[in-house]
Amino acid sequence: MSAEARDPQSPRKKLNDELVKMARAFAEFGPSVNEVSRICSSFKETVRYRYHKFYSDRGIKIQAMPSYARLGLKRLILIARLAPSCESNARSIFNALSELCYLHSFTRVALRGTYVIHVAVPAEFQEACSAVYQDLKGAGLFTELEVLAFDEMTNPPMKPEHYDFVRGRWTFDWGRVGASDSRLPLNIRPRVEKYDRTDLLVIKELEIDAGQSLVRMADTLKVNLSGLEFHYRDHVKGRGLVKGYRLVWQGTLREEEPEKTGQREPYLELTLLLRGGTREEVAELMRLLNALPFLWSEAYGSAYCAELFLPMQMYGSLLQYLDAFANKVGRKLEVYTMDQANALRFVISYRLFDGESRRWRLDPGAVLAALGQLAPAA
């Protein structure tokens, strides 16, 4: 870090401090210009200008985080290998599974050829959904498949104090990593709230871009504006169906958006999977990872799984940082380097929610009929 960046009186340091404060306000209130300008004691025009110049124009977006627990959704993580004859159709296969069987994201593991697949499924269909994926393996679509069930999935907020918004890069000092106070989550889940299809459509739009206006959202969804405002205010926000907001700083590509080509620091995506760890080992790994600003998500259940996005030049520092823990747990811990060119994240599976009955649905026969035919002949 330059002397100017460290000097508390320098204009650049003052500007970055204000941008860090803005980032914290965005994480709490989302893209509400009124709230952010009040918290930051800034003019609304200043907030809008800085948001576009230092966030949006650099590929940093504000995204709503659905409360999967309040929606009654649980997480499956699959470690899978497609049949060789299916590899060329991988994206089409996973797109179909997102529409038919709750697939939430997929990323190919570099140098291995396997995929890490996330499935966000209603609790009542967790076992049935797992069985469908096993049936697809039996049909030959997958040659390898491991299904891990998780009770909870969380997305730690960005640590903006470690980011230089003026220059658009991380300034994390590995020599000053502090201990995190992260603990294993209590086995207490919030109650599942009531919701309808319109609520899910609002959540879907907020996942794509939380910065869009309700007027634009109503136009996109072809619904009445006053009705949309009611669902947004009384259901989505009032019932906690969205648990907060996060800054998407690493540019993860989603189904609905084209790839941005603006300047962005190159990131390495890693998945850490700890199988068979003791409670103490899981807690220790959580403390290690939550002390870093690069943790994107973590899941707890039959195993512990974490996603990290790391500036490429910091990879060696991370390996050194985790070395003692990795040697202690041995083969329980696997670290996957992910191929971001073969990855996609999807919004919540709103298409699988029946608006009339207000119930989720899963048709194993339809999944097998649509995808079983892609499996190689025996």
pLDDT at 198 over 60: yes
**What percent of the chain is predicted at pLDDT more than 70?**
90
Q: Is residue 161 part of a domain?
A: no
Q: Is residue 42 part of a domain?
A: yes
Q: Is residue 308 part of a domain?
A: no
Q: How many helices (H) and strands (E) does the chain have?
A: 12, 14
Q: Which of 42, 58, 74 is the last residue of a domain?
A: 58
Please provide residue 240's backbone torsions phi and psi, each rounded to the nearest 5 degrees: 70, 30
Q: Is residue 43 part of a domain?
A: yes
The CA distance from 270 to 144, in Å, is 21
pLDDT attached to residue 190? 79
pLDDT at 255 over 50: no
Mean pLDDT within 104-114: 96
The predicted model scores a pTM of 0.90
Residue entry with tokens 């520092």: 317
Among 242-256, 257-271, 279-293, which range has the highest average pLDDT?
Answer: 279-293
Band the pLDDT of 188: cuts 50, 70, 90: low
pLDDT attached to residue 31? 84
DSSP string for 177-209: PPPP---PPPS--PPPPP--HHHHHHHHHHHH-
pLDDT at 256 over 50: no
pLDDT attached to residue 249? 87
The CA distance from 279 to 286, in Å, is 10
The answer to whether residues 346 and 98 touch, using CB atoms and an 8 Å cutoff, is: yes
Domain containing 34 equals 3-58
Q: Which of 43, 58, 73 is the last residue of a domain?
A: 58
More confident: 2 or 158: 158
pLDDT at 263 over 50: no
Q: Is residue 228 part of a domain?
A: yes
pLDDT attached to residue 21? 96
pLDDT digits (tens, 9 = 90+) for 132-184: 999 999 999 999 999 999 988 888 889 999 999 999 999 999 988 876 666 65
Tokens (6 digits) for 104:
């939430």
The answer to whether residues 92 and 42 touch, using CB atoms and an 8 Å cutoff, is: no
Give the CATH number for residue 229.
1.10.10
Q: Is residue 353 part of a domain?
A: no
pLDDT attached to residue 61? 87
Q: Residue 104 burial (CB < 10 Å; 0-12/13-18/19+)?
A: buried
DSSP string for 46-61: HHHHHIIIIIGGGT-E
Closest by alpha carbon to 329, among 295, 283, 367, 294?
283
Q: What is the mean pLDDT of the chain?
A: 90
Band the pLDDT of 3: cuts 50, 70, 90: low
Q: Is residue 48 part of a domain?
A: yes
Q: How many domains does the chain have?
A: 2
Q: Which of 174, 209, 239 is the last residue of a domain?
A: 239
pLDDT digits (tens, 9 = 90+) for 276-307: 999 999 999 999 999 999 999 999 888 999 99
Mean pLDDT within 185-195: 77
Q: Is residue 235 part of a domain?
A: yes
pLDDT at 197 over 80: yes
User: Measuring CA to CA, how many Å separate 306 from each of 258, 276, 368?
Assistant: 26, 15, 30
